[in-house]
Structures are given as structure tokens and as C-alpha cells.
Structure 1
């Protein structure tokens, strides 16, 4: 059995776990520890905090899933101020090997390795995900992550990270026109991440309030999500439903762009919405692609229910990059 440290770093949280690869190839995680990025000056200090919590010693290898582009000499996060220099990772952390992947690249690895029982069906044909071909993997959290997974006939797979969360937002109705107009006052170019990510619920809520002539309240996204999902505020509930509509539209756009045979929704917020999405307008909007509506109806859309797909996928990426025999 081989052990590594698996890390999933997003805009708000950094999650750590010890990942074990067993002789039969299965990967398991111990109980994850979640740290707030705002509580630590750098990833190194967060690593040292985690190491202390684990008794002062850690495995000699690390795999890191990072919310942002990972190809340069300096990694800057999309939604938090940390900086990582890949060339210094082994020296700074005291490990001998490491792997760094985009966070949704890691989630795509998790999708590739997860069992059929770890997916919730949302829309389209029932049954397991297609065993071959391209799948779109996307999901909302602090930002909007997107990747694609290609399954080969021999059982191997390839993953590609993308920055699909930064494509342009395309409104479909007057309410979304109003959301776009509100956002354009602050952003010359409005990407889908401005509408389909956790913090976006504030602008959606305030747009709906303005349309009804209500006074705009100063609320944070957590309060609106909580009230909307619990049904204690009808306007917040309407904002959540509007979010689900937009998520369906964007998921369909990604599937068309990738030529996907299926779509998997992930992300921390995606998981929280698992009981709401099937009852929302998500499925209708996913298929609302004009001449391609018939094609979209044939694509299965599922939600991965693994509790830590980023950590699981980061570990899977490490073992794949080291020949699955590390």
C-alpha cells in the first residue's frame, strides 16, 4: 500500500487527506481536514498546520488540486491570494515527489474512477455513464470549474483541464437580461462564472428584488443560499431556482462545445443542490438548444455524490502520472 497527501485548494477552503492506494488499485482517503484559506498567509503555513494536526509527520509525496491554471512557473489562484511555485514544492513541503493538477481536472479523475453507485441521475437516459468517449465535468463552487474526460475502449482514460467557466454569459429571457445588465455595470465582460457560482446568488437575488421594486438588502451569499434552500424567503428561493436554470443552460452549452456523450455535475455547491436540481428547471434548460434539442435529450446528466471528489481525484491523478504503480 502506498500513501500520499492529497490536497484540494479552492477559493475558500483547503482540504487535506491521506490517500492510500491498495494492491488491487483502489484508492481510499482517511478523514479529511478542512482549513480556511483566509486563516493562513500561504499554502506552506496551511501545510504546516495540517502536518501538526497529523502528529508532525506526513507521507513523502503530495498531489495538489488547485482552483486555477497550473501550467506556469508561478500558480496564482483565481479566488484566493495564495501563490505556489511548483519548482519549490518539494523543498518547501519536505516531500520527494509531487503532482499538481487543476481542481476540475482532479474531479474528472474522480469521475473516471468512481463507481456507478456514486452518481445521482439528473436528466436524460437512465443507466450508467457511457463507458467510452468524451464526458463534460463541471460544477459550481466559489468559482465554476470545467474539465473533460475521454474514456478509451481499453479502459484507460485521459483528462483535460479547461477554463470553460470564463466563457461569455448568454441570457435566454428578460430576467437574465436584467442580471447581465446589473453585472455589466461592474464587469465589462460577463462570464458564466459571474452567474453560475456560489457568490453569484447575491446578484441574482438583488436583480429579482429590483424587478419587484423591493429595497436591495446587504446580504452575503451564504445567507441567501440558506434562506432559499430552506424556503424561509420566497425571493431567495426564486433566486436559487433561477440559478438552477442558468446552470442547466451552461451545462448544455459545455456539452455542445465538447461534443460530450454525457455531463457530470460536481463542485461543493453542486452537491448541496443534489435534491433541488432534479425538481428545478435545470433539465428543461439543458435541452433548450434550438435545433439541437433532440440531441440534448439523449445525453445523460448525472451528479457525482462522492463526498470528496477533489481529494479523491487528486490522488487518482498522482497515481496515474506515476504509472499507477507508485
Structure 2
């Protein structure tokens, strides 16, 4: 099927006079320079030579400073495909440029036809899923124009330029010329073990421009691509080049035959431009007679690795689990996030407000339909696993976040109703913190911070408890099951138990909330984003003289009030001046967070640790949580302090635990 997407004819026939050669002019030669000829100054066929430039040249290409040294060979000079590929990615992935991926040497006499292949849509969507921080690797970088331009266009991304050692000096010079901190240079020789050194970096995007000129390097390049791409299922390689030789077509087609016991490569064309010029002009290397036609075809191909499932290695046509589509969702009190995945690859993702502003209608089923409307109709999920902000009992969910209660009222839905919206996919609903629980034991070390070591064992058989403040407060606990040899995740609605104040200020705060919300005030109402907003409002009434008019206007004017208090609450945004009232509100919130963490630890005797994770607030306030205030409140338990001192306390700044949890559940249940 994929090979049918190649528009060009085979080497043996074509409707054009010479379709597999860049040039149809009679001036075009019939030979190519040798790979071993360092004096070759062009990847183009050349019948005219020029003396080498005695000194390096520095020029500016669309804002990128580039030093070239043409006398040192083809790796030390510029070629049009590099800029074309960078422009294509900037426009179609970064969405920062409305102009086409134009060639540096367009002429008014050129007739240009561009083809955007439909296959590009899903491929580009997958790459966009890694924004705003792409990890980009450039192969055969030469002078590095593609990678340098992407580094400048996306400062939050990291770019690694690779080539043979002889090119590294010039690459480092060009990185320095552009003062780039997000761009580095490494050696990578195709077809060697060098590629193994890059697998663990998990590059989202690999780029290569004008890298298929020498047929002798086709097989080494294929081997390198397979190594890099099979190391990361969500990685894509974009290769751009001018069609020059008959072997070019054969190379791209043969990529679909590259495979090993772990997976195979898939190559599709995503973009093509045909340029025909009828005019005598000097191109630097070739002269065209009056009336001669130059036919230049520039193409971009996308290459990915399709991994084999272990149970289907002997059957190429089997519909393995890694090929099945999984619809995942994390429904929070404020936002709903969705992903459609095929194995480790993200096909599409998006997020929506749980309830649109100024509306009184809404449902989870409507959000599912809205997301799937963005996906091609043939991409139907095989399984749907959803974490939702409320209890799930016998497949029925009840969600009553503050946003819902103030607009639509509580949401009630079932696995059956969601399945109907999800093209009848098998559907599993779970509490959103049950989803967090499924990811809790696999939090990366970089995202886990120990506030108290205690005497328990995170990696043993002891019970683990977790609380996560977000719009509301989530709870979950994990208990070791000897029969299964692992911890089992258990749902909890402990966050809906009554808040118990410990200080006079907290007592007064509780009475203040009861005036509007009745006698039962759950912990969820205090140790959460709602609580942060309420603490500010309470303190504003209590200490009115300390109100900052500018901050208060910002607080009153938006619907993300907790975010405003957090912004000015100290230690969150270093560029913002602290507000005294906001700092005090955050202090009060952190006190209650530490208290509730201790309550949870004692309630479950969680010697495996209490985790402050999920929900969103812990990631945003990680520095404030680590500064000691939470730990002091955690340990201040009177006669029970000795018990709490033995219970480890951790905080995580990971922001995607809910989605990782539902992904884990989907992978387990899709088998």
C-alpha cells in the first residue's frame, strides 16, 4: 500500500524525458563524482569546475549565520534542501510561518507545482504532540543550516547536529556564530555503532537534507535509521532532497523493506515540489542554453519504525496489540485531556475546557465526540480507558466538580454511554486518581523529590498513599497483594471527609466557608485550587488594608483565580513581585496540605510513603512545597509525631501521571 504512494515511475520508464534525473538539459553529464573525491564541490552532476575559495565565507540565510568552506568539499557548503526542510517544519510543525518552504534560488521564470500528500496529516500531528519541547537530531548536518534554523525558531527545543568528525569544527563554529544554547554537535558515522549512543536520547524528530546523493552510503544510512527509529516508537525522520539519480527512487522505496526481528521501517512521501525553468542562466555549476529546460523535483519523505509485537513476529499480517488504537482521557474538574495512541505512538491529542465558559450544557460523551471528530473516520479506537474526576461504581461515574456544579450540575455517565460515543470501543472508566495510582511506582527519579526519608521502603511491600491537589483533591492508595506479588491500586474518596482545623485561623476560615456552603466542608474544598482561592478571599475580608488593588483586580477579572494567587504567592514565578496577601494564602494552603498528608499516612499506615502527586498544583508549586513548610506541618502531629516520622514523604512534579496511568491500564486490558 505504501509503495503505491510514490508518484514517480520506476527507473525503467517515465512520461518525462528523464524523470529520475534532476536535469533534462543536454548539458547534464552522465556521471557523478566519487565518494572518495574530496575536491567535489557539489552534490549536483557537474561539467564545469571552479577554483576553490581561499577563505571561509560567512553569510546570513534568513537570519541564520552560516560559515562555509567550499574548498573543503560538499559537507562544508550550503545546499537548498537544508533551508527547504527547515521551512517546512517551521510552517507545518511549529506553525510559525505562513510562507511556503521556498527554495533559496527561485526565479520568476520558474513554473512551480507543489503536492502536499494526505499522509502528512497524521505524521505531522504525531510530531506536534511533542511540542513545545522537541528533541531534534540532524543526520549528515554539513554546515548545519536545518538544525540551526530550527534551534532559533524553537528555543524550547533541543537540537543535536551530527556528521563525520571532519565536519564537527565548522558545525561548532556555526553554533557559536548564532549564540545557541539549545544546539550541540556530535559525531555520528552511518552504519557504525555510533547510532547506539543516541537511542536513549529519545529524539522526537530526526531530519536529514541532501543525504542520499551517494549510493555507496544508502545501506549505512538505512541501518542507522532503523537503529534510531526502533529505539523510540514516537520518533519520525523527515528526509528532504532534490531528485538527482535513478537510485534515489530506489532508496526511498527500499526503506519499506528494511526490517529486523524488532520492527520494520515505513517510508511515505509527504511533500513534493516540481520546478521547471526555461531560460539561459548561470546556476553556479551549470549553464543552460536558451530554451533548455531545467526540471527540479524536491521531495520530503517521512520515515517511521513499526515495531513488531512479540506474539506476531511470525505473521506480518497479524493485527498485533501494538497496532490497535487506544483512546485515553483524563477528565479533570477544569480541563479534559484526550489522546489517541497506537502503541507508544500518539496519533492525535487535544485538551478542552470541561465546561465552556458561559454555558449551561455539557457532557463527557459530547467531549469524546468532539475529540473523535478531529480524527480521520477510519481511525476507530479498539479500547477506551478514561480517568474521571469522581467515583466510579459498577461502571457508572458521578462527577461533581465546582465548575460542573456552577454550570451544568453533576455529570453522570456510564461505560456503555461513553462506548457509544467512542464508536462502540470497549470502555473502562476509573477514578482519575486510580489512574494516577497505576503510574505512581514508575515516576522517573528526576520527577520525584524526597521531603522525608522515614524508615519505610518505597520499593518493598509496604502500603503507599497519595494525595493530589488540583481543582479538587484526589486520593488513592496501593496495598501489596502477596498472591499477585505486586501492589494493587484502590480507589478512595477520603478527600470528601470533613476538614478538621488545627489552628484558630483555620477554625475561622472553616466558619467563613460554612456561611455559604453549609455545615459539611470536605477536605477537597480546602486542600485544592478552590481552597487557594477561598483563602485569598477570606484573608482579603479579614485583612482588607493589605489588599493590592492590581492583584485583586486580576483575581476578580478571570476564572482562573487560584492561578492568580499562585502567581503572586512567592517562589512560583521569579519574574513577578510577591503580594503579601497571596503569599499568606499560599502559606495557609501549604499548612493544610502537610496536615492532610500526615492524616493520609496515619490512616493507611503508609510506610511505603505518602506521595503528593497528580492534580497539577504540586508541579507548579514544587519549590514552595520543598521549602520546608509542608514538612513542618506534616511532622506536627503531637503524640502521633513519632508515627509520622517513620512514614516517607515524597512530592512529584510530573504533570502527566493521569494519562500514563490510563495508558498502562489500556495496555494491560487490550491484550
Report the count of equivalent residues: 318
The answer to whether the Cα contact below 8 Å between 1:149 and 1:159 also exists between their aligned partners in 2 is yes
Partner residue of 2:464? 135
Which moved further from structure 2: 223-232 or 122-131?
A: 122-131
Partner residue of 1:311? 659
Partner residue of 2:373? 52
Q: Using a 3 Å threshold, how does the CA distance of structure 1 residues 162 and 224 change in structure 2: closer, same or farther?
A: same
Structure 1 gaps, min length 5: 22-26
Partners of 2:345 and 2:493 lie apart in 1 by 29
Q: Using a 3 Å threshold, how does the CA distance of structure 1 residues 280 and 185 change in structure 2: closer, same or farther?
A: farther
SS of residue in 2 equivalent to 1:113: coil
Partner residue of 1:85? 414
Query: Aligned-pair distance for 1:182?
Result: 0.7
Per-residue CA shift, 1:110-169, capped at 9, x if unaligned? 103334444222333499723322111111111111010123466522111111111111
Partner residue of 1:272? 620
Partners of 1:32 and 1:111 lie apart in 2 by 23
Per-residue CA shift, 1:193-220, capped at 9, x if unaligned? 1211102112211222333343875733
Partner residue of 1:34? 351
Q: Using a 3 Å threshold, how does the CA distance of structure 1 residues 29 and 162 change in structure 2: closer, same or farther?
A: farther
Specify which structure has the higher proportion of helix: 1
Partner residue of 2:533? 202
The answer to whether the Cα contact below 8 Å between 1:106 and 1:309 also exists between their aligned partners in 2 is yes
Out of 603, 626, 638, the residue aligned to residue 257 of structure 1 is 603
The answer to whether the Cα contact below 8 Å between 1:251 and 1:263 also exists between their aligned partners in 2 is yes
Per-residue CA shift, 1:212-247, capped at 9, x if unaligned? 343875733332222224453111011111101110
Query: Aligned-pair distance for 1:318?
Result: 3.2
The answer to whether the Cα contact below 8 Å between 1:244 and 1:280 also exists between their aligned partners in 2 is no
SS of residue in 2 equivalent to 1:189: coil
Q: Using a 3 Å threshold, how does the CA distance of structure 1 residues 30 and 287 change in structure 2: closer, same or farther?
A: farther
Partners of 2:641 and 2:546 lie apart in 1 by 39
Q: Using a 3 Å threshold, how does the CA distance of structure 1 residues 50 and 312 change in structure 2: closer, same or farther?
A: same
Out of 1, 11, 14, the residue aligned to residue 336 of structure 2 is 14
The answer to whether the Cα contact below 8 Å between 1:98 and 1:318 also exists between their aligned partners in 2 is no
Query: Aligned-pair distance for 1:273?
Result: 1.4
Partners of 1:73 and 1:155 lie apart in 2 by 27
Is 1:172 aligned with 2:494? Answer: no
Query: Aligned-pair distance for 1:280?
Result: 4.2
Query: Aligned-pair distance for 1:278?
Result: 0.8
Q: Using a 3 Å threshold, how does the CA distance of structure 1 residues 58 and 273 change in structure 2: closer, same or farther?
A: farther
RMSD: 2.5
SS of residue in 1 equivalent to 2:458: coil
Which moved further from structure 2: 123-132 or 38-47?
A: 123-132
Query: Aligned-pair distance for 1:73?
Result: 6.3
Is 1:282 aligned with 2:604? Answer: no
Larger RCO (alpha carbons 8 Å, 6+ apart) = 1
Q: Using a 3 Å threshold, how does the CA distance of structure 1 residues 49 and 221 change in structure 2: closer, same or farther?
A: same
Partners of 2:451 and 2:598 lie apart in 1 by 13
Per-residue CA shift, 1:22-42, capped at 9, x if unaligned? xxxxx6767742111113722
The answer to whether the Cα contact below 8 Å between 2:434 and 2:489 also exists between their aligned partners in 1 is yes
Q: Using a 3 Å threshold, how does the CA distance of structure 1 residues 168 and 72 change in structure 2: closer, same or farther?
A: same
Structure 2 gaps, min length 5: 1-321
Partners of 1:291 and 1:130 lie apart in 2 by 28
Partners of 1:209 and 1:251 lie apart in 2 by 27
Per-residue CA shift, 1:13-70, capped at 9, x if unaligned? 111123455xxxxx67677421111137222222222223333424211000010011
Is 1:193 aligned with 2:515? Answer: no
TM-score by length of 1: 0.88
Per-residue CA shift, 1:269-303, capped at 9, x if unaligned? 12211121011410011111112212212222112
Q: Using a 3 Å threshold, how does the CA distance of structure 1 residues 47 and 286 change in structure 2: closer, same or farther?
A: same
The answer to whether the Cα contact below 8 Å between 1:148 and 1:161 also exists between their aligned partners in 2 is yes
The answer to whether the Cα contact below 8 Å between 2:464 and 2:477 also exists between their aligned partners in 1 is yes
